Amino acid sequence: MKIGIFSTKKFEEAYFNQLNTGHHELIFIEEGLHTNTVSLAKTCEGIALFSNDDCSEEVLRLLKKETAVKYIATRSAGTDHINLEVAKQLGFSVANVPQYSPYAIAEHVIAMILALNRKLILADRQVKNYNFLLDDLIGFDLHGKTVGIIGLGRIGGILAKIIHGFGCTILGFDLIKNERLEKKFGVTYTDLNELYKNADIICLQTPLNEHTKHLINQEAIAKMKHGVILINASRGGVVNTEDLIAGLKSGKIGAAGLDVYEKEKGMYFFDHSHEILQDDIFARLLTFKNVLITGHQAFLTSNAIVNIVEETMKHIQDWSLQKKATNELF
């Protein structure tokens, strides 16, 4: 089977080549999938996407009309970049990787919390400037603090496990209650208003959909504790960035850790260091000393990459044998 792998990262190619059984022709495409790159998959039976690829209705219809593509494998748990309803209508088979390494993302969230709280980035800069003053480096004990987790699926559950080990009180919000998390890690399920009101740290681990788009907005921020730490390692669109900036300026939000950004498509995963930054909102984010930004790398461990590639190759192998893929969505 001939597969076009869009948004290929250099670190992925070796893993794909190693796991390819030789039965499949893998075409590595550095560009992301969008209307102008559909033609690159013209002779492919399947495509493998990344989370920032555009698989909207327009792109899907072009794929159906202009290519031989029947199968779509996304190298992510989230599917918000794919119009699943249209994909189903057009007869595409779609599969994702629902569990590649929840530990990778949960541990990245913890790293962000600790780095922000203990001012590690600032401390490193000061020491490198031969400045050993401690006045601006005061943090707080994580033990005893209240952490709110919005989204207690696989990643949120692992995060709760780790946070429990620090001795934190854990508030959770999810449409489905997990009794194991309640009993084993002391998670108290509550509504969003109570979570906003009581949490010292809020972690977002929810998918992006019509219900969570700009979940964190001016109204939500107004309900939060003054000086709250906000961590987003889910999807950028869950946070209204302009409202976040207003919250940072007022001090309502004491610090923010962002692994994702709502307008990251076309920016993240590429080297723009020689270009003029055109996004004024992102430029404003960069000015805050109490904001830690990483470029959608929370998933990036060798364990996760191996799992993602393995699952993607399994999907391709299943489809080549005319079988339904393990994680096929419909």
- Dump the DSSP string for 291-318: EEE--S-TT-SHHHHHHHHHHHHHHHHH
The verdict on 113 and 225 lying in the same domain is yes
The verdict on 70 and 128 lying in the same domain is no
Single out the catalytic residue among 12, 45, 262, 264: 264
Q: Report pLDDT for 99.
A: 84
Q: Is 194 among the catalytic positions?
A: no
The verdict on 81 and 169 lying in the same domain is no
Q: Report pLDDT for 299.
A: 94
Residue 95 structural domain: 2-100+302-320
Q: Report pLDDT for 44.
A: 98
Single out the catalytic residue among 75, 235, 262, 311: 235
The verdict on 54 and 134 lying in the same domain is no
In a domain, 327, yes or no: no
The verdict on 125 and 179 lying in the same domain is yes
Q: Name the domain count of the chain.
A: 2
Question: Which residues 6+ apart lie within 8 Å of 150 measured at CB?
Answer: 156, 172, 173, 174, 192, 195, 202, 203, 204, 205, 206, 215
The verdict on 69 and 174 lying in the same domain is no
Structure tokens at 317: 């192998």
Q: Are strands 253-258 and 169-173 parallel, antiparallel or unpaired?
A: unpaired
The verdict on 289 and 311 lying in the same domain is no
Listing DSSP states for 266-291 in one string gives TTTTS--TTS----HHHHHHTT-TTE
The verdict on 82 and 143 lying in the same domain is no
The verdict on 9 and 75 lying in the same domain is yes
CATH number for the domain spanning 289: value is 3.40.50.720
Q: Nearest 5°: phi and psi at 296?
A: 55, 50
In a domain, 326, yes or no: no
The verdict on 62 and 28 lying in the same domain is yes
Q: Report pLDDT for 23.
A: 82
Q: Report pLDDT for 21.
A: 73
> Alpha carbon 177 to chain centroid distance?
22
**Distance between CA atoms of 28 and 6, rounded to whole angstroms?**
7
Mean pLDDT by 10 residues, the chain (330 residues): 95 91 90 96 97 96 98 95 97 94 95 98 97 97 98 96 98 97 98 98 96 98 98 97 98 98 93 95 97 97 94 95 94
In a domain, 239, yes or no: yes
Q: Is 235 among the catalytic positions?
A: yes
β-bridge mates for residue 293, sequence order: 258
**Distance between CA atoms of 15 and 28, rounded to whole angstroms?**
12
Which strands, in side-by-side order, build the sheet including 71-74? Answer: 25-28, 2-5, 46-49, 71-74, 93-95
In a domain, 143, yes or no: yes
- How many other C-beta atoms can be found within 10 angstroms of the C-beta atom of residue 113? 25
Does pTM top 0.85 for this prediction?
Answer: yes
